[in-house]
Amino acid sequence: MVPLNSSMVSVEHDRARDRVRHARLFNGVVNFSVYGSADSFYYGIYFTKVKLGTPPKEFNLQIDTGSELTWVSSKSCPSCPRSSRFGIELSHYDVAASSTSKVIPCSDKSCTAITLGDATRCSIDGQYCGYVMKYLDESATSGFYVADTFHFESVSSNSTTLNASAGILFGVSTYRSGMLAETETAVDGIFGFGKQKLSVLSQLYYKGITPRVFSHCLKGGGTGGGVFVLGEVLAPGMVYTPLVPWQPHYSVHLENIVINGKLLPVDPKTFTPSADYATVLDTGTTFSYFVSEAYDLFVGAVSNNPFPILRTLVLLLYFSYVHWTFICRLFPLVSLNFAGGASLSLKPEEYLFLSNVSKDGTTWCIGFQKAQGQTILGDLVLKDKIFVYDLVRQRIGWVKYDCSSSVNISVPNDDFFYLKQSSSGSSSRGLLVQLLTVAIVTLFFSV
């Protein structure tokens, strides 16, 4: 038997040692500038600039909280776009050009630890550990895994900007299909920030470099922009809703929808989280999606306006386009209400999107689409707000904000480097297995 006071001293000693280690490893929060916008008339996506390899090479990557794998186009990819309508110069990753690159062979034990469902596989000749990723829009990419140096700037507590780097695992795409192969919205790849162990957030967290929280503020107006932070952004008026713990994505419980003060008569069971369903926040999606039961009622309620001419125009929105000027002022306010009492209010310009501008007027469309089985909140809803993804406290927070303004970034305390323990034995065992797997992977891929 160990005396209680002795045990407490040991715990405090270990935590103190860890604090020293974290002070040595953690330089501050990592800050990325954001480009692009939710407006499909201009961009339709948000992306940032990422430096990989030695010497560092810059890549434009779409910010995606809906997937975990970060990948870039290979120099030898025949289906990867060579130009983009965004006016950016596309880059391609060359393993041979980086002195710190390491292709992951199939023979390595870490290859079996890298799992993306059934998407991880070995090459036919067994030389490299490959992957196949398919997205909801039917686009896809495949390639192989590489470990290389990720370069970034971190901001310390005294606002000093420091250059830092870490070894991370990412994919190198040798094939792209669907929208990923088109020049219309082409960038160099995807910056995966999902919840799972392969995301950049998880890899840097398990190395003790960044806290297990990140934030974004995506500017909606004009040509967009904003900020993406590996850390917590603070602002007055933040509201929070719990994360659904068993979901692989950033999923929350949408309880109901209120339009102009009236509750939309959707069966509450429609939104109740289950093993397969919850409301997902996804920066990799431009529009937002309601399940069919809610979508039909939503369109009907938006169309139910006392002005007969306006009602006719809105009904046309259900099927195609409609022209008007300043008409969105007459559309109702929408409130999405979540578990924990958190509400997200949407002005018309946050559920309508600009499609075209001409001398005859402005073309707008409803930005919510009908989905099968999954409600997804994309950039149209996420823009012009600070969103905080707090995996330590297991919650999502938000507040309306001018994303062209500076943001207040919290310096994380020691708690952000500790995982929340589950009271469930099975959950704890699952977490232990995940931690051990990630530890093996990150140790192997350290540069």
Identify residue 368 by its one-letter amino acid code. Answer: F
Identify residue 7 by its one-letter amino acid code. Answer: S
- Residue matched to tokens 């669907």: 178
CB-neighbour burial class of residue 74 (10 A; exposed 0-12, middle 13-18, buried 19+)? buried
Distance CA(350)–CA(59), nearest Å, equals: 30
Distance CA(113)–CA(146), nearest Å, equals: 14
- Helix 308-319 / helix 292-303 crossing angle, nearest 10 deg: 150
64 flagged as catalytic: yes
Alpha-helical (H) ranges within 71-146 are 109-113
- Residue matched to tokens 């929060």: 29
Distance CA(228)–CA(389), nearest Å, equals: 11
Residues 64, 148, 379, 384: which is the catalytic one?
64
Reference 180, options 32, 343, 67; nearest CA is 67
Q: How far, rounded to the nearest angstrom, does the alpha carbon of residue 89 sit from its chain's CA centroid?
A: 24
Residue 302: both structure tokens together: 């938006």
282 flagged as catalytic: yes
Residues 39, 148, 188, 282: which is the catalytic one?
282
Distance CA(275)–CA(168), nearest Å, equals: 31
Q: Using CA atoms in the order 439, 445, 446, 447, what is the torsion angle rounded to 10 degrees?
A: 180
* Number of alpha carbons in the 13 Å side-chain half-sphere of residue 90: 24
Q: Using CA atoms in the order 99, 156, 442, 136, what is the torsion angle rounded to 10 degrees?
A: -90
Residue 106: both structure tokens together: 């199939």
Residues noted as catalytic:
64, 282
